[in-house]
Amino acid sequence: MNGWRSREIRSFRHAFAGIYEALRSERHMQFHLGAALLVIALAAWLRLSAGDWLWLLAAITGVWVAELINTAIERTVDRISSEQHPLAKAAKDTAAGAVLIAALFAVGVGLIVLGPPLWKACFQ
């Protein structure tokens, strides 16, 4: 295998290792995985349109990306110093705020996309 391909494969391995580590150690990532699987199963059951799938997958991806970045920031701050510092707190709180915004967006998308067809399937 040439050097370029070997480096690319190694890069993917590192990326998947990071995702696995976050899933293994972060309870919020585990929650987001469960929520994503539930939403995907519900969307499949409701036979949503491609456009609706796109919105749902974009929202899920946004939450996951925000959570992974939040985890990286938290661990980096913890690695730099175990002492409490206002700037460390601000960095962690800001990263957590990004996750909150992504999660609220995902909830909104879920309500808009899944709400009407779910209501129809259950009550009409």
- Measuring CA to CA, which residue among 118, 124, 122, 123 is closest to residue 48? 118
Task: List binding-site positions.
Answer: 7, 26, 67, 74, 83-85, 92-93
Distance of CA 107 to the CA centre of its chain: 12
C-alpha 12/C-alpha 114 separation (Å) is 33
Known binding-site residues for substrate equal 7, 67
Q: Specify binding-site residues for a divalent metal cation.
A: 26, 74
Residue 8 annotated to the active site: no
Of the residues 43, 55, 62, 67, only one is catalytic, namely 67
List active site positions. Answer: 67
